[in-house]
């Protein structure tokens, strides 16, 4: 049921966009739609779980919306500024994406980009360009993977352990290095949020593990529980410790631990420009689900 504080835009007689003010209202409408393709929508569902656990996790009010026709959801979208818009699978017709683009522009004219299934994110970017005259470029091509059963990798020296408050300086350093390597920039506020939440949130929502072999060698985090799964990431090993199997052992160990706690699946995103990481994850049991692309808006 729609509430008075929901913002509704109507196009034609049957199609409408509904914007929600709270994560609970968004989930009340869209959770079943998202859960029917849980792996593909693990990021949206996971972000919602984090917001339920810590409503003020992000520095600015989030954006939640669905486009409906005859009460059937055609597309769901959310955004947690300063981050980009995240799209679900769904109807990628011009009418749907134009309606969404118009509302996103009203909410946040400086929206930096979009992440979503490959065809959907491209078509939204095209709609955004028509509406705003901003250029766009593909900044990252990714693949979503899902794991149901771990294939243990070859044994390597050392063991995994949960990161603790004493590890905070190391976690901050390594997450900064991860961001710089993966994205070409460092968001200091996001680094602080990620580390603080990993150390303070309930372990069923978020955490980080380290692999130790005389000293910390590799890092793997997890966050964003979905109805049946949870997302792995980030995964980072300093260059001097790579190609020795530490990351494989740690990701496999953390994945198995999460399955042991009752999760049916683990999910992760990979950068398709890094064939080594994609190969490693397949070897320990992750299977590809779908491709997603990130586009950046504005000056190229």
Q: Dump pLDDT digits (tens) for 25-53.
A: 999 999 999 999 999 999 999 999 999 99
pLDDT at 9: 53
Does domain 7-141 sit in CATH 3.40.630?
A: yes
DSSP, collapsed to helix, strand or coil, labels residue 137 as strand
What residues contact 142, with CB distance under 8 A and at least 6 apart?
269, 270, 271, 272, 291, 292, 293, 294
Model confidence at 187, pLDDT cuts 50, 70, 90, reads confident
Instruction: Report CA dihedral (33, 262, 191, 285) to the nearest 10 degrees.
Output: -90
Q: Do domains 7-141 and 150-284 have the same CATH topology?
A: yes
Helix (H) or strand (E) holding 256: helix 246-260
Q: What is the per-residue pLDDT across 169-184, written as a single tens digit (0 to 9) for each? A: 999 999 999 999 888 8
The domains of the chain are located at 7-141, 150-284
Please state, for a pLDDT cut of 90, what percent of the chain lies above it.
85
CA distance 238 to 236: 7
Q: What is the per-residue pLDDT across 49-59, written as a single tens digit (0 to 9) for each? A: 999 998 988 88
Structure tokens given for 66: 């669905």
Residue 300 has pLDDT above 80, yes or no: no
Model confidence at 185, pLDDT cuts 50, 70, 90, reads confident
Report, as an integer, the average pLDDT of 217-224.
Answer: 96
Q: Buried b / exposed e across 3-24, counting CB within 10 Å, b at 16+?
A: eeebeebeeeeebbbbbbebbe
Q: In this structure, how many other beta carbons lie within 10 angstroms of the beta carbon of residue 199? A: 18
What residues contact 257, with CB distance under 8 A and at least 6 apart?
209
Q: Give me the count of residues in the chain.
A: 300
Cis peptide, bond prior to residue 9, ω within 30 of zero = no
Helix (H) or strand (E) holding 229: strand 229-236
Model confidence at 60, pLDDT cuts 50, 70, 90, reads very high
- SS3 per residue for 166-190: HHHHHHHHHHHHHHHHHHCCCCHHH
CATH architecture for the domain at 150-284: 3-Layer(aba) Sandwich (3.40)
Cis peptide, bond prior to residue 82, ω within 30 of zero = yes
Least confident of 127-131, 234-238, 296-300: 296-300
């Amino acid at each position: 049921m729609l509430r008075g504080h929901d913002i509704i835009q109507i196009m034609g007689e049957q199609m409408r966009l509904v914007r929600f003010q709270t994560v609970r209202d968004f989930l009340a409408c869209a959770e079943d739609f998202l859960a029917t393709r849980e792996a593909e929508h693990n990021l949206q569902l996971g972000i919602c779980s984090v917001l339920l656990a810590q409503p003020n996790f992000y520095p600015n009010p989030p954006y939640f919306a669905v486009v409906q026709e005859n009460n059937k959801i055609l597309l769901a979208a959310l955004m947690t500024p300063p981050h980009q818009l995240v799209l679900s699978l769904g109807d990628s017709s011009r009418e749907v994406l134009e309606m969404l683009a118009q509302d996103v522009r009203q909410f946040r004219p400086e929206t930096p980009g979009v992440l979503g299934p490959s065809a959907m994110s491209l078509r939204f970017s095209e709609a955004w360009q028509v509406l705003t005259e901003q250029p766009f470029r593909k900044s990252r091509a990714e693949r979503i993977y899902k794991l149901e059963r771990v294939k243990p990798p070859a044994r390597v020296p050392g063991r995994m352990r949960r990161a603790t408050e004493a590890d905070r300086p190391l976690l901050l350093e390594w997450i900064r290095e991860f961001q710089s390597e993966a994205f070409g920039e460092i968001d200091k506020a996001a680094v602080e949020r990620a580390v603080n939440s990993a150390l303070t949130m309930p372990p069923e929502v978020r955490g980080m593990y380290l692999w130790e072999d005389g000293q910390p060698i590799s890092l793997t985090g997890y966050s964003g529980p979905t109805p049946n799964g949870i997302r792995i990431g980030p995964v980072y090993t300093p260059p001097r410790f790579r190609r020795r199997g530490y990351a494989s052992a740690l990701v496999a160990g953390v994945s198995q631990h999460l399955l042991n706690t009752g999760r049916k699946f683990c999910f992760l995103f990979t950068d398709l420009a890094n064939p080594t990481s994609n190969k490693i994850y397949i070897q320990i049991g992750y299977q590809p689900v779908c491709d997603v692309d990130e586009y950046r808006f504005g000056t190229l």
